[in-house]
Amino acid sequence: MAFSNEQLERYSRHIILKEIGAKGQKKLLNAKVLIIGAGGLGAPVAMYLAAAGVGTIGIADADEVDLSNLQRQIIHATKDVGKPKVLSAKETMNEMNPDVTVNTYHTFVTSENIRKLIRDYDFIIDGTDNFPAKFLINDACVMEKKPFSHAGIIRFKGQLMTYVPGQGPCYRCVFKNPPPKDAVPTCKQAGVVGAMGGVIGSLQAMEAIKFIVGQGELLTGNLLTYDALKMDFRKIKLPHNTDNCPVCGKNPTITELIDYEQAECDGAL
Amino acid sequence: MTITVAGVKKEVKDDLTVAQLIIDENVETPMYVTVSINDEFIASGTFETTVLKDGDNVEFLYFMGGGC
């Protein structure tokens, strides 16, 4: 596949990078990334990946745009209130870059649909806002041998980790089981600064791009934490022994996906 | 003795348990924190009986569920 003149110009700042170049840009154009959640995290991920020319982007979310989303979900605009988030997101991405094919899934992810959904993609973004979905994505990615980026944001804090099959701990290695409903506050209860989605979501987009072009070191085996009030980033090394993990360990006891009880949240996915 | 907690070196009393450190550090949602010491996860049922040693490197890993 040769680049058109328009593509050479559009992606010139990528192509000039020795780590990306024409070869890396072709990889991006041929890549397929699925973003689960078109909210605070999913919005910047979707926009940066679309702008970067990731050729196929799937986006899954069951919700409609609400006025209270617009403080942080920058892929949606005031005119989109009431519209399915996946549709609003697709329109924005199409306007940004006609090279990108956007597949929309106007649905919650469940144990019934997630494995089939992720199977077609090279890299998965967890942009969800609740623990049942985060554990479901982790377990499904382990079972389907798919790399994914986990992230969470609340108040002025965020966290991020990358899972690549066979390379270190999965989300369940670290966090074992979802906390009981309402034991740990959600964004709706506790609040979140809109720019936090931009910081952490952009880092998720960066992990996807590095994975696709095969450059640099991914955030595998580490949990990155960000405290905006202290302006402190920490890369915490995670234990590397995953043998006893119930899903990615040597003798997994979780071999079927689990639908945990959904916590109440602003637009739970 | 000296231990490192979340990247910061601290002087603490000998025979400090993980459970006591969680109290001393005002850990949020102590029931649901993941603790690692020197690159090993500590089982949540053993915080009371796990005694820290000089030079230990302790990390607290918190649930963060938001994305909305």
Write down the domain spans for chain A: 31-237
What topology is assigned to A31-237 in CATH? Answer: Rossmann fold (3.40.50)
What topology is assigned to B2-61 in CATH? Answer: Ubiquitin-like (UB roll) (3.10.20)
Please state the rounded mean pLDDT for residues B23-44: 93
Nearest CA in chain B to A177: B32
The residues pairing with A165 across neighbouring beta strands, listed in sequence order, are none
Please indicate whether, in this complex, the C-beta atoms of B29 and A238 are within 8 angstroms of each other.
no
Instruction: Give the tens place of pLDDT for each residue, A82-136.
Output: 999 999 999 999 999 999 999 999 999 999 999 999 999 999 999 999 999 999 9
Q: Which residue has the higher pLDDT, B66 or A2?
A: A2
CA A264 to chain B, closest CA, distance in angstroms equals 12
pTM of the model: 0.95
CA B68 to chain A, closest CA, distance in angstroms equals 5
Please indicate whether, in this complex, the C-beta atoms of A184 and B63 are within 8 angstroms of each other.
yes
What is the ipTM metric for this complex?
A: 0.93
Query: Which of B41, B64, B67 is nearest residue A239 as measured by Cβ atoms?
Result: B41
**Residue A153 in contact with partner chain B when CB distance is under 8 A:** yes
Q: For B37, list phi and psi in degrees, rounded to 5.
A: -125, 125
pLDDT of residue B44: 87
pLDDT of residue B28: 86
User: A194-213 and A42-52 are packed helices; what angle lies between their axes, rounded to 10 degrees?
Assistant: 40
Instruction: Give the tens place of pLDDT for each residue, A231-254.
Output: 999 999 999 989 999 999 999 999
Please indicate whether, in this complex, the C-beta atoms of A159 and B64 are within 8 angstroms of each other.
yes
How far is it, in rounded angstroms, from Cα A22 to Cα A16?
8
CA angle A58, A61, A66 (to 5 degrees): 130
